[in-house]
Structure 1
Amino acid sequence: MKKVFFGIGALFILFVAGLIVLMTVDFNRLNKDTYYVHITSDGEVEEYKAGDGQILESYWYELPAFNDKGDETTLKFSAQKNLRHDAYLKLYVKKENVVTSYDEVQFEDMPAKVQKHLK
């Protein structure tokens, strides 16, 4: 009987741990390459209609981006709002050009090789 309760307890602990991992880990950023960009202009507005008839907007950006080594590539990504001018973003990229997420960062927090290119 103790083995049954022990087994149920272990399964419960695993279930709770799994829920915590799912709630706290952002899989859009996990094991992705990082690139940095400087927002200098407004994004191109794309309007689309949601299923309920509401008009929604996306803002598309196509900018030169630099990785930690200073290598340059051009990345295209979207945001749900027009991003702040003169902001620096850290982009999370998979498959070389698919941006899955981004964070705003301070200039001082970027690698030195990236800072040299984005001054």
Structure 2
Amino acid sequence: FCEVRRSTVLLHLYIPFYSMYLLVGAILFALIEGPIEKNYTEELRRFRTDFLEWNTCVSDSELEDLIVEIIRANNRGVSAARNVTGEPNWSFGQSFFFSSTIVTTIG
């Protein structure tokens, strides 16, 4: 019938291999970084609770308003606080993106 070019065969082998490589990288980054982020989130929640207990003149809603404004400023690039966003930094999608950038820059 028709001849299949060697480059076509290699391309069809490369694409699934590359996809699997990215998936494995994303899973590894999510597994490594996810628990660290979770622990930090829990630590921040405990810190917030302790802060409210130590500073009874500050209400929970006032503290929440302050935190929201600090996060908004941080999202706009103003370094008003540490990174305390509610969205995880190492979700699967973000880990996948990071692993693809590693592959394309490092190899």
Tell me, yes or no, whether TM beats 0.5: no
Larger proportion of helix: 2
Larger proportion of strand: 1
TM-score, reference length from structure 2 = 0.29
Higher RCO (C-alpha under 8 Å, 6+ residues apart): 2
